[in-house]
Amino acid sequence: MADAARAAILPHFRSAALTSDNKLSAGFDPVTVADHAAELAMREILAERRPHDAVLGEEYGETTGTSGLTWVLDPIDGTRAFISGTPTWGVLIACGDADGPQLGIIDQPYIGERFLGGFGRAEMTGPRGNAPLATRDVPSLDDATIFTTFPEVGSRDERDAFHRLAGEAKLTRYGMDCYAYALVAAGQVDLVVEAGLNAYDIQAPIAVIEAAGGIVTDWRGGPAHDGGRALAAANPDIHAAALAILRDAP
């Protein structure tokens, strides 16, 4: 599925002919022909090989199933990055049940990196070969690197809570979309904090990060697989420190 999505997307990336449509009447939420083509390519494989599983995708909604398993697809997480030519977008694939994802893939087709987690595996493949994924053990916020995609994060309360947390961290960076979650799993950064997510934004990152030894919850320590607010942390200590600041956000 990830290979099929790569093949569908890459001809459009950095193409002078690429255009986007806006899915919002107010604001800007772009979608491109590459988003549609990639999701259709993945759905075709599932229809052939897993016809009894449910599918939830960003572009084509939900298809019911009878197996108890659901594939959750985001064909291009970070379409704003995609249309801007930056290689921080990715293909997200997750499979799980009502309790959350059991398997996840974060795939960056242009630079050829793929992060996989689940069923006892946590590994990265890429131009430099294969490597295990493992989060790092930074214990305190004052030595932590934190990411979020948008500086405003979400609501004003959510933005203020994030900036209180960021004020305690060593380094704050913005705009990486799903690639920031991959960096947590790879042991490069320590925290990703976001709000306003959908299930297809977060399920694959949950599986990959947890397989690598990290933790992903909502801002009160509960499950995050249905979307909303997400706190991805490299280890229990840094998760607890971040949660102590975020959990009081209205």
The annotated binding site for Mg(2+) is made up of 58, 74, 76-77, 201
> 3-class DSSP state for residue 71?
strand
> 3-class DSSP state for residue 234?
coil
Distance CA 20, CA 166 (A): 33
Report the candidate in 191, 110, 192 with the shortest Cα–Cα distance to residue 150.
192
Cα of first residue to Cα of last residue in the chain, in angstroms, is: 39
Annotated binding site: 58, 74, 76-77, 201
Give the CA distances from residue 110 to residues 12, 87, 209, in Å, rounded to whole numbers and listed in that order: 11, 7, 22
Give the CA distances from residue 221 to residues 168, 204, 226, 232, in Å, rounded to whole numbers and listed in that order: 19, 18, 14, 11
Return all residues near 16 (Cβ < 8 A) that are at least 6 apart: none
Q: Are 92 and 200 in contact (CB under 8 A)?
A: yes
Which tokens hold the place of 226? 């249905």
Distance CA 124, CA 107 (A): 10
> 3-class DSSP state for residue 227?
strand
Strand partners, 107: 91, 114
Report the candidate in 114, 96, 129 with the shortest Cα–Cα distance to residue 202.
96
